[in-house]
Amino acid sequence: MMAKTEGDLCNFDVFLGWEWCFSGTEFLTYGLSADFLLSHRNLDKLTVEQYCALVREHGGYNAQAHPFRRGYWIKNPFPVKPELMDGIEVYNACMPDEVNKKARDFAKRHNLPIQAGSDSHDKDISFASGIKLAKRAESIFDIIEAIKAKNVELVMPKRW
């Protein structure tokens, strides 16, 4: 809860969410509580289909993160079935432009809600990306609703 405490000090809202991974396929998951995590300690044993179904069953949201990223640890560097996703990350500041373009084209083809992220794991990275909403979110559900309604603006460095 350190992020929440710091956010409160800076008048910056912090909502719970996490990145779930299966063989290199990663999902950004929002709308579920810490109690959900504590009562589902076997999430690492689930398949993508099982995880997505469980999250939806409990009212959560899943967006596939950087679906065209490549790496030795990634078993399948492509998007999962579109019907499993609630949205897709079409811009990730740490990914090459061609990876982001493939994600954007995929989202367009499948009419998926889009979002952006920084995926920054280093305090020295000076760029950031994300989404901007028309009004301040009062809860994570305001953010989910805006993404699903395609009522977000992508915030990205100028290079894209």
The C-alpha angle with vertex 116 and arms to 110 and 118, in degrees rounded to 5, equals 145
Which residues, 6 or more positions from 150, have their beta carbon under 8 angstroms from its beta carbon?
A: 113, 114
Query: 17-155: which CATH topology?
Result: TIM Barrel (3.20.20)
Distance between CA atoms of residues 62 and 101, nearest Å: 20
> CA 15, CA 3: separation in Å to the nearest integer?
9
What distance in Å separates the CA atoms of residue 139 and residue 63, rounded to the nearest whole number? Answer: 18
Return the pLDDT at 102: 93
Q: What is the pLDDT of residue 56?
A: 96
Helix (H) or strand (E) holding 64: strand 61-65
Number of residues assigned to the chain: 160
* The amino acid at 144: I
Q: Alpha-carbon distance 61 to 21, whole Å?
A: 15
Amino acid at residue number 21 = C
Q: Where are the domains of the chain?
A: 17-155
Enter the pTM of the model: 0.89
Specify the 3-state DSSP secondary structure of 20: strand
Give me the pLDDT at residue 38, please.
96
* pLDDT tens, N- to C-terminus, the chain (160 residues): 688 888 889 988 999 999 999 988 899 999 999 999 999 999 999 999 999 999 999 999 999 999 988 888 877 777 889 999 999 999 988 888 898 999 999 999 999 999 998 877 667 766 678 899 999 999 999 999 999 999 999 998 765 4
